[in-house]
Amino acid sequence: MATKLNQLDLEKYNLDKYTFEELISEKELNDRVKKLGQQISKDYKGKIPVIIGVLNGSFLFMADLVRNLNIDFEVDFLKISSYGNDTKSSGTVGLIKDISADIKDRDIIVVEDIVDTGLSVEFLYNRLNKEKPSSIRFVTCLKKPSKINIDGLVNYIGFNISDSFVIGYGLDYAQKFRGLSSIYNLNPKKEN
């Protein structure tokens, strides 16, 4: 698939009940990620955080973010499940792949693609906190208005967005569309 979306792509994947619109352009993403990188570099000056990417969705955002840091850091990844092949959260989170780094007494920055209900953040915080790190902060590219209270955990937010389903820049629908270079909204077509 090309890096730009068109209506035929939606039809190909049985999403013809939806229309799409570009929500955040590639340039807006680049500019914002640069700013987040500068802020994180400033906040973690003199420290060597372990940056943990939450697979799969965060891989592009994380790759861009770390290239905008001017501090030393280490990386690790974990994988959780929540959405399956749907546009709504399943309501339960499971760990599919755990980290391998020893994070005791380390500063942790967890990189998320999007925070929706907040369940994943809550789950990840509880999971990682068991290892007794010095600190845990979350950075997310996108944030919807969360349904559960995770105030204070998500310290860095790329963009606050409204409650609709988005794809691109790492975010998928049924594992498709991750390579799109901007972020698109999928809007249900209005019935006549």
- Binding residues (CB under 6 A) for ligand IMP: these are 57, 82-83, 89, 112-120, 165-167, 171
Least Å from the CB of residue 13 to ligand IMP:
14
Kindly tell me the burial class for residue 174, based on how many C-beta atoms sit within 10 Å of its own C-beta (0-12, 13-18, 19 or more): middle
Spatial contact of 132 and 162, defined as CB atoms under 8 Å apart: no
Among 50, 52, 48, residue whose Cα is nearest residue 70: 48
By beta-carbon proximity to ligand IMP, the closer residue of 71 and 176 is 176
By beta-carbon proximity to ligand IMP, the closer residue of 103 and 171 is 171
| Helix 26-43 / helix 59-66 crossing angle, nearest 10 deg | 60
Least Å from the CB of residue 47 to ligand IMP:
26
Least Å from the CB of residue 101 to ligand IMP:
20
Least Å from the CB of residue 185 to ligand IMP:
9
Q: How many residues does the chain have?
A: 192
Annotation says 31 is catalytic: no
Q: Which of 107, 116, 163, 172 is catalytic?
A: 116
By beta-carbon proximity to ligand IMP, the closer residue of 54 and 134 is 54
- Tell me how far apart the alpha carbons of residues 94 and 180 are, in angstroms, rounded to a whole number: 27
Using DSSP's 3-state secondary structure scheme, residue 95 falls into strand
Spatial contact of 80 and 123, defined as CB atoms under 8 Å apart: yes
By beta-carbon proximity to ligand IMP, the closer residue of 44 and 165 is 165
Enumerate the active-site residues: 116
